[in-house]
Amino acid sequence: MVEIQEIIEVPFHDVDMMGIAWHGHYVKYFEIGRCALLKKIDYGYMRMHDSGYAWPVIDMRIRYAKPCRFQQKICVKAKLVEWENRLKIDYLITDVETGQRLTKGYSIQVAVDMESQEMLFASPAILLQKLGLATDA
């Protein structure tokens, strides 16, 4: 449904002495894509907070195919694939120059009512409104 692409140059502070990005930084690259995706639908983290919902990540998977290297330009693609009961975002990281797949994965977030601290079993109306699937929130 909704997807984005962000170009990132792997910085020096993300790599080890062999010039390879540490595996934990891929979560950050996914987060950059996720934030751009949420911004595209005008429902970034501050809007989520203002609407009364927190959206914690409850599950994440990363599949490493090839390493990202120092100064490599990578493309992070993020695509919203589920939204009715949770947010599931698929990610694909590719080399900008060759298009070669480097990493793929997904994250799952659920809505939590900030007042009651209860997890919702269906996404709140505000998300559906931001996606153009509902007229009221």
With respect to residue 50, please indicate whether it lies within any of the assigned structural domains.
Answer: yes
Q: Which residues contact 135 (CB under 8 A, 6 or more apart)?
A: 129
- For residue 9, give the CATH number of its domain: 3.10.129.10
Residue 74's closest CA among 94, 104, 103? 94
Residue-range definition of the domain harbouring residue 110: 3-130
- Please write the tens of the pLDDT for every residue from 37-70: 999 999 999 999 999 999 999 999 999 999 999 9
| Residue found by looking up tokens 């751009």 in the block | 36
pTM over 0.75: yes
- Please write the tens of the pLDDT for every residue from 69-101: 999 999 999 999 999 999 999 999 999 999 999
With respect to residue 136, please indicate whether it lies within any of the assigned structural domains.
Answer: no
With respect to residue 135, please indicate whether it lies within any of the assigned structural domains.
Answer: no
* Structural domains in the chain (count): 1
With respect to residue 11, please indicate whether it lies within any of the assigned structural domains.
Answer: yes
> What CA–CA distance (Å, rounded) separates 20 from 80?
29
With respect to residue 19, please indicate whether it lies within any of the assigned structural domains.
Answer: yes
> What CA–CA distance (Å, rounded) separates 31 from 78?
9
Give the chain's end-to-end CA distance (angstroms, integer): 20
With respect to residue 90, please indicate whether it lies within any of the assigned structural domains.
Answer: yes
With respect to residue 137, please indicate whether it lies within any of the assigned structural domains.
Answer: no
